[in-house]
Amino acid sequence: MSLVWPTILVLIVAVTSVLVVSGGALFYLHRVRLERPAIGRFNRRDILLLFGFLVALPLLYVVVPQWLLTGFLIVTFIGSLSIGYRPVLRRTWLWWSIGLLLGSNIWLARTMLGTLAGWDLYWAENSLIVALGAIAVANLYAQGGMRLQHVCWFALFLAFYDAIFTLVWPITNELTERFLGYPLDPSMGMRFGIYNATIGLGDLLIYALFLTTAVKAYGRHVVRAVVAIIVVFGAAAPALAPLLFRQLIDARTDLIVPAQTLFGPVAFAYYRWARRRYGAERTTGQFVASLRGRPAALPDRALIATVG
Amino acid sequence: MLETGIRQMRMAMSMALGRRLSTANLARLVEDALATLDEFGEPGADSAALLDGPGADPAAQPELVADSLRRTATRLADRSPFYARRFVAAEINPRRIDTDALRRVPVTCKRDLIRRPAEFRCAGATPHLATRTTGTTGRPAEIWLSRYELELWAGLGALAAVLRDDLRRDDVLQISVSSRATASVHLNAATYRLVGAGCRVLGTVPPDEALDALAEDGATVLLTSPSYLGELVNAAGRRGLGPDDFRLRRIDVSGEVLSPSLAAAARRTFGVAEVKDNFGMTEVIPVTGRLCTAGHLHFDATMGYVEVLDLHTCEPAAPGELGTLAITPYYPYRECMPVYRYDTRDVVRALAPDHLGCEAATAPASGVVLGKADALLRLPSGTIVTPRDLVEAVESLPTCPWPARYAAEVVDGRLRVTLSESAVAGLGHAGTREHLASCGIEADVAVVDDAEAQYLRAVRSDLHETTFVSSPQRLGA
């Protein structure tokens, strides 16, 4: 089997997707402020919890019936889109838009996948939902206090996780197969002939988080380096890897690449370098203050009474 | 973030259901709040809702009040000998009590607490710390507090203070109230400990020593009474100390009337933007009041129920009328020696709740405290002169006689105000009469010498505590 054509397709889809999502997340970070709860910020324990979810959810996704899986995905996307775009759209517009996007996706998946044009329409619409979702969630985390340190440790964990669950215990392959052709596939993709080229929501989210938290931590001058790492190690290298490693082709001739295995160690190494080069990360408050052109300051507020 | 959400949920559920709060959970929430401020510089958008609890929603307040009154009364009927008897005598079923039935419960007075303190202690609660009232209305009442109460109030206070930026990690509090006010001292120390800030318990030592501590060791927050604050301002003036000698960012006072002239002088002297005049009272902790920018005194609807009762009938006072504050702290915020409908004798003007129009309009409010009911003076014309009227008038004299020492009485239908020689120095009788008239007080003036003037009116700063700093060296020491 010639791998050149599918590899090029994956390369195009992957690079385009990571640039759209990471760029969109960065744009959002600079333009939109998400509401935060009164108390709470992202910390290490949240990362461990996220990792726990990440390990448990795919196992659950593999065993639950398809209708329940679709239900989970609907709830997930409604949650991310409604939280992420509440500051941008009026409530009526927001809910109509979400309903239209998700409803169309279900309709397209059920009725339009008999033709190539139908697949392309489905993938275009699905990719829009996934990109919007990834941009929203990346900002929810980054604006919620997640730091570059957290993202890079998480990426390092994922490097092992991805390798194990792709090469040793191919849960990822099974999941990819389960999602394909059903509503709300958590991937961005496109179909060219018989090939579906996709990149998963989890990967996109990590890249968007890497860029947003890096800019939050050290400012815009890190954009070039970070985008280069994302494009080279997050999109290009995983897309080209099957040319060198035939083990990535499974029995159904699907190409499943553990992208985080390539990206995680590089991202972590970059974080260690950046920390030595630029020092401690800025807090979210300092970042927001820098956007407003002033240093972070505490508000002057009222007092609680004390008893004499 | 997820952990914090679960902690907030636990606290909110306890508050909504009226169950004991986990004080350990509260302490961890304080740490979360500090971490939030470190990261974002300010709390999130709904911090007001978190601070005010279920009482933040005006639409939910009637139901919250009824539930809380019933819950508190039911517990008292079961566990407090005093209130078990009182509810039976008033033929009130505590499980059906509401704001209307509440009016049939006689108010509790300070003399009840003084005469039968043991009957107020609830069965099952373990007394931990006794605190005594330190006001100027005679014999003190002793209140026992449980360890849960102290930890709870410190936790709630720390959380609110951190979220309102009233308390920062690098703050140092100087407590210059009577050391016998153990509840206040303990609570403030515990609150500052939870935040990791500094706390210096100094008591009402000679003002020069308090000033030395403020100036040399750099306290950022001062907690005191208005009368002691007056002494500090005078002492600072004598020594030529000014804003550059201090690093205070706030002064909190409570327990007495704070006059605008003293507040302005304190701001000038210590270089603070504001002197916060709060309402707090040992007997009704943890219910406290805060002044809004419109000058209303707002109470936390989650902690307790506040009524303004007519001075004669004990029925709710009409808007605009004078009344005395009666306060019922709710369970689970008070458990060891609670009071129900406690008549504070603090006189305020009742306000129409629908016409507050201030930033804290959703919280119940009254006018500012005007003084104790027993100190009101009624003139034949029907005019009532309050202690606040007199303190503000006297303390605005050009001689800056802080704290105000005066005696006031109605003699032959006219008000007569007795002042010290130093207070009226340079004005004479006529000038002083004119000054009082310009403050809305038509009065005759009598003058006594300064030594005698010390006994005209008791103030909290009279509870001076001695130290060995200024005492003469002893032979053989």
Mean pLDDT, to the nearest integer, of A14-34? 93
Of A40, A296, A304, Cβ closest to residue B41: A296
Q: Strand B414-420 relative to strand B443-448: parallel, antiparallel, unpaired?
A: parallel
Instruction: Examine residue A119 and state whether it is found in any structural domain, yes or no.
Output: yes
Span B266-323, pLDDT tens digits: 999 999 998 999 999 889 989 999 999 999 999 988 899 999 999 989 899 999 999 9
Judging contacts by C-beta atoms under 8 Å, the chain B residues touching residue A36 are 40, 44-45
Q: State how far Cα B204 lies from the chain centre.
A: 17
> β-strands B304-310, B275-278: how paired?
unpaired
What pLDDT was estimated at residue A146?
Answer: 92
Q: Which domain holds residue A87?
A: 4-291
Which pLDDT does position A191 carry in this prediction?
85
In a domain, A298, yes or no: no
In sequence order, which residues have a C-beta less than 8 Å from that of residue B99 and are 6 or more positions away? B62, B65, B66, B69, B305
Examine residue A75 and state whether it is found in any structural domain, yes or no. yes
CB-closest option in A144, A301, A306 to B1:
A144
The whole-angstrom distance between residue A170's C-alpha and the CA centroid of its chain comes to: 21
**Which of the residue ranges B59-63, B180-184, B248-252 has the most confident prediction, judged by mean pLDDT?**
B248-252
What are the tokens at B79?
Answer: 């566990």
Q: Does residue A304 lie within any of the structural domains?
A: no
The whole-number pLDDT of residue B339 equals 96
Q: Quick one: pLDDT at residue B348?
A: 96
Cβ pair B166:A145 closer than 8 A: no
For residue A73, tell me if it sits in a domain.
yes
Q: What pLDDT was estimated at residue A67?
A: 87
Q: How is B434-452 classified by DSSP, letter by letter?
A: HHHHHTT--EEEEEE-HHH
**Do B1 and A289 lie within an 8 Å CB cutoff?**
no
One-letter amino acid at A193 equals G
The pLDDT score that the predictor gives to residue A250 is: 54
Distance from CA of A286 to the nearest CA of B (A): 7
Interface of B with A in 452-471 (CB under 8 A): 460
Q: How far apart are CA B227 and CA B176, in angstroms?
A: 11
A307 in a structural domain: no
Predicted local confidence at residue A301, as pLDDT: 33
Query: Which amino acid makes up residue B140?
Result: P
Residue position matching structure tokens 């972590």: A268
Digit-coded pLDDT (tens) for B232-248: 999 999 999 999 999 99
Task: Please give the DSSP secondary-structure letter assigned to residue B336.
Answer: S
User: Between A306 and A283, whose confidence is greater?
Assistant: A283
Beta carbon pairs, A and B, within 8 Å = 149
Residue with token string 């959400």: B5
CA-based nearest distance A45→chain B, Å:
8
Residue A283 forms contact with B (CB below 8 Å): yes
Kindly determine whether residue B45 and residue A40, on different chains, have CB atoms separated by under 8 Å.
no
Interval A82-116: pLDDT, tens = 999 999 999 999 999 999 999 999 999 888 787 88
Task: Identify each DSSP E strand in chain A by its residue range.
Answer: 187-192, 195-200
State whether B160 and A304 contact (CB < 8 Å): yes
Which of B1, B41, B225 shows the shortest C-beta gap to A46? B1
Alpha-carbon distance A127 to B242, whole Å? Answer: 66
Lowest mean pLDDT among A36-50, A288-302, B93-107, B223-237: A288-302
Q: Is residue A306 part of a domain?
A: no
- What is the mean pLDDT of the segment spanning A231-244? 82
Please name each of the domains of chain B with its CATH number: 59-148+280-373 (3.40.50.12780), 374-462 (3.30.300.30)
pTM as predicted: 0.82
- Residue A308 falls within a domain, yes or no? no
**Using CB atoms and an 8 Å cut-off, which of residues 129-148 of chain B contact chain A?**
134
Which of B 193-212 lie inside 8 A of A, CB atoms? none
The minimal CB distance from B166 to the residues A144, A297, A303 is found for A303
- ipTM summary value: 0.77
- The answer on pLDDT for B394 being more than 90 is yes
Element (H, E) at A193: none
Query: What is the pLDDT at residue A230?
Result: 94
Cβ atoms within 10 Å of A15's Cβ, excluding its own: 18
Q: Tell me whether residues B252 and A296 touch, CB distance under 8 A.
A: no
Distance from CA of B184 to the nearest CA of A (A): 5
Please give the mean pLDDT across all residues of chain A.
Answer: 84
- CB B1 to CB A301 under 8 A? no
At A57, list the tokens: 């959810």
Query: Contact B187/B157 with Cβ under 8 angstroms?
Result: yes
Number of domains in chain A: 1
In terms of phi and psi (left: phi > 0; alpha: psi -120 to 50; beta: otherwise), the region of B240 is: left
